[in-house]
Chains A and B, each alone.
Chain A
Amino acid sequence: MSATPVAAPEGLRVLRAAFVWGLLLALAVGWLGADFAFSQATLVATYAIAGLGVVIIVGQAGQIVLGQGALVALGAYAQTLLVQAGVAPLLALPLAATVGALGGVLASLPAGRLGGLYFGMSTLAFALIVEEALVRWESLTHGAAGLMVPGFGLAGWQADTPLAQAAVSIVVLLIALALAARLLRSRLGRAWRAVREDEAAADACGIAPGAAKLRAFIVGGSLSALGGSLYAHWIGFISPEQFGLVFSFELLMLAFIGGARRLSGAVWGALVVVAIPQAIAVLRDTLPGDWARSAGLELVLFGAIIVAVVLLRPQGLASGPRSG
């Protein structure tokens, strides 16, 4: 019914997706210039990895998560501190993802017995605690002043061109997508969907909802942390405020726009979320007067986009393929 649709054979779908995204990238390179296009592709891929975590927790396991930004922050800080301590960046990636998984466990501790909104509130509380801890633990995180992040490199090779960064991000994204797709087809993926549709019924069928939710947070947390650790490398500087409540909501919006029921929704959502600030910047330049230069306009426009998306497509999260 509302399981992952298996319309076309697996191989064909992958080929089709590869063709569509390859075409998009080629168009972007032709239209925007190679460097800009690749740096944007890097951002899209990185956001998509982080958004994949939200898609799994919200879209597959059906839980409300209001503080995903904190898990991304944990990944970014873990990666930065590890690399600063001399760990090879490639080796640090899985470690940072593990830190995110641990964060996911902590954030979802009340999940065993709670459902719905209470649980969402506890993830919000977790995120606010993490943010405050990052600000206050100055000996480790330099507080609000932030940390400089070394570049991403591998045995003497440095990913310092947009092309190299895009390649690394896309490879990591593809690996994450493949792993997530494999998980969704497994017993665990079925358990998530069962819990999403009806927790009591899932429980009656011998699925432990608490364990399923916990695992959703472990997987979602490690994916988001992985996205965060790459993000830290590409941006080159991290501070707690980058990963605040607004970022958490950006990730939610990403899943909402792309469609949280499919993994590919994370990638489409990431494309839109990365494009929005650019579109706003273009719009600001075309508007006349000083008023357009004020910082408030950006907030208004961003808020208006969220509102418009939600109003025009309120079923963004809820609609499964069942209507088709």
Chain B
Amino acid sequence: MLSFLQVLSSGIAIGCVYGLVALSFVLVFKATETVSFMQGDLLMLGGFAGLALHLAAGWPLALAAVGAVLAVALLGAGLERVALRRAIGQPHLVAVLLTFGLGMMMRGGVASVPAAAQDMYRLPFAADTLGIGPLVLAASHVWVVLATVVLVLLLALFFRHTRAGLALRACSEDARVAALMGVPVARMHTLAWALGAGLAAVAGLLLAPITFVHLNMGLIALKAFPAAVLGGLTSLPGALAGGLFLGVVEALAGLVLPEGAKDVVPYVLLMAALLLFPQGLAAGRAGGGGR
């Protein structure tokens, strides 16, 4: 029972990371119809930016984390301005290739820093454990869950109660009508990319104490795709729920299934879900526009 609870808690923590990355993917996809294949690279960049600001530049950890998230968000906004907006209105594959290429450049950029390419790093926080009665939880897992809850609350407030958040939502529902109502659609796209990139960077920082910071940590974002699809591709709460669900199922599968099988579980689930419930998933998509 105790080991079950421990596995469950680590599943929830990893699920939160999947959920955050899926959230960033869906946020960008909803607002700009751009399929981003570089969320994993933005995540990795967030981890390394935090590392560089803290270890190399000597900033305090909290400040370094905020700085890293802002820097990556700025990068997202800048890339939207320079390149990504050219993919709007094109077939999905254009954006897929474009973001994949940009992600490759980020990975290559980090890899050409010798110190970054060779080692795995640990951000010095949340390295200890918490004991609740007989249950021992990794502090990093608790951190992830708490941070996710706070972030989601902030995002909900942003989307419901601020002018920019409402405008972004209007833009996602129907860009043309939003433009007619005076929403600056192009600026909203930039904002969406900034938010999406920033969220990915947060996920990277939260992942840092769990998997360390290394060049391939972005691979985790591949599991955010099933999470986003399970959540319906256009639903922010759905993406988060999909991530949590996958994290928990994957962790539990690790208990039951043979070694290695747990890594395919999200993809098998995705194929099964697409086969069995195409209507349920498609319904969420059809709700978006009246085309």
A contacts, CB < 8 Å to B: 58, 64, 66, 109-110, 113-114, 116-122, 124-126, 128-129, 132-133, 135-136, 245, 249, 252-253, 256, 291, 294-307, 309-311, 314-318
Contacts and interface: CB of A to CB of B under 8 A. Distances in A.
Contacts of A122: 270-271, 274
* Listed residue (A133, A249, A303, A311) with the most chain B CB atoms within 10 angstroms of its CB: A303
Given A113-B278, A256-B93, A124 B225 contact: yes
B117 A295 contact: yes
Interface in B247-291: 260-261, 263-264, 266-268, 270-271, 274-275, 278-279, 281-282, 285
A213 B117 CA distance: 42
B91 interface: yes
A253 B97 CA distance: 7
Given A121-B225, A296-B110, A318-B91, A306 B101 contact: yes
Contact of B97 (A113, A256, A299): A256
A120 B263 CA distance: 20
Interface string B120-151: 00000000000000000000000000000000
Contact of B229 (A118, A129, A296, A311): A118
Given A110-B278, A122-B274, A124-B225, A307 B233 contact: no
A317 B83 CA distance: 18
B111 A114 contact: no
B104 A303 contact: yes
Contacts of B111: 294-296, 299
A249 B100 contact: yes
The 9 lowest CB-CB distance pairs between A and B, nearest first, are A299-B108, A296-B112, A306-B101, A303-B104, A296-B111, A300-B108, A303-B105, A125-B267, A113-B278
Contacts of B100: 249, 303, 306
Nearest to A293: B112
Interface of B: 35, 83, 86-87, 90-94, 96-98, 100-114, 117, 222, 225-226, 229, 233, 260-261, 263-264, 266-268, 270-271, 274-275, 278-279, 281-282, 285
Contacts of B270: 121-122, 125
A114 to B, nearest CB: 5
A125 B225 CA distance: 9
Given A132-B260, A132-B263, A307-B105, A294 B112 contact: yes
A306 B271 contact: no
Nearest to A107: B271
* Listed residue (A297, A311, A316) with the most chain B CB atoms within 10 angstroms of its CB: A311
A135 B267 CA distance: 16
B93 A300 contact: no
A304 B86 contact: no
A52 B275 CA distance: 27
B108 A120 contact: no
A114 B106 CA distance: 33
B229 A314 contact: no
B176 to A, nearest CB: 20
B112 A310 contact: no
26 contacts: A58-B93, A109-B271, A117-B92, A120-B92, A121-B270, A121-B274, A122-B274, A124-B222, A128-B222, A128-B264, A129-B268, A136-B261, A249-B100, A252-B97, A294-B117, A295-B112, A295-B117, A296-B110, A299-B105, A299-B107, A306-B98, A307-B98, A310-B94, A311-B83, A311-B86, A314-B90
B215 to A, nearest CB: 9
Contacts of B260: 132, 135-136
A304 B92 contact: no
